[in-house]
Amino acid sequence: MAKKKMSLGVIGTAIVMASYGVWKSQENKIKSLIPARVGSFGDIIFQVNSRTVLTPKKLTHTASASYGSHSMLSGKPRLQYIGPSLEEVKLEIVLRADFGARPRTQLAALHKMLQDGTTAYLIIGGKPVCELPMVITDISETWDTILSRGELWQASVNLTLKEYR
């Protein structure tokens, strides 16, 4: 038995192509609203989309070890490995109202995490930066742009995070 080819004709093809174009434009609109997650730290989501840009920059990850020094009689001291030190991450975040970041809201959330001792994993690119959760040990903020009514338009925040064991 031979299969029949289905033909849409000119009008049917035009309808399918038009509806595909509408669907494609809707798909692109929806995709622009879905955030490209750069990462997160607790409730702070680092993302880029058509409405929001909130990304860390100048991220520095430090891992070190502790050593004890033992004095030697008539010789140089000797080191003894004690163990790994706590890992530390320093990063800067620029909060801009025109990029959808709401500086005061984000600063309040970061200060609450600091005051409450909230532990969270720092996730960048879908992977934790450190094996264990981290806490904020230091926040340094600079209010870069304040508008005439006292609205904070742009702030730079430097965070220090330490591994929590």
The pLDDT value given to residue 2: 53
**Amino acid 55: pLDDT:** 80
Say if CB 120 and CB 159 are below 8 A apart: no
Question: What predicted TM-score, i.e. pTM, was given to this entire model?
Answer: 0.71
- Neighbouring CB atoms inside 10 A of 48's CB total 14
Q: Which of 4-13, 40-49, 151-160 has the highest mean pLDDT?
A: 151-160
Whether the per-residue pLDDT at 26 is higher than 70: the answer is no
Mean pLDDT of 91-108: 88
Using alpha carbons only, give the angle 55, 59, 60 rounded to the nearest 5 degrees.
170
Tell me what pLDDT residue 4 has: 47
Residue 74 has pLDDT above 80, yes or no: yes
Whether the predicted pLDDT of 23 surpasses 50: no
Mean pLDDT on 31-49: 71
Question: Pick the residue with more confidence: 97 or 135?
Answer: 135
| pLDDT in the model for residue 84 | 95
**H helix or E strand, kind and range, residue 113:** helix 103-116
Confidence of residue 36 (pLDDT cuts 50, 70, 90): low
Looking at residue 92, its amino acid is E
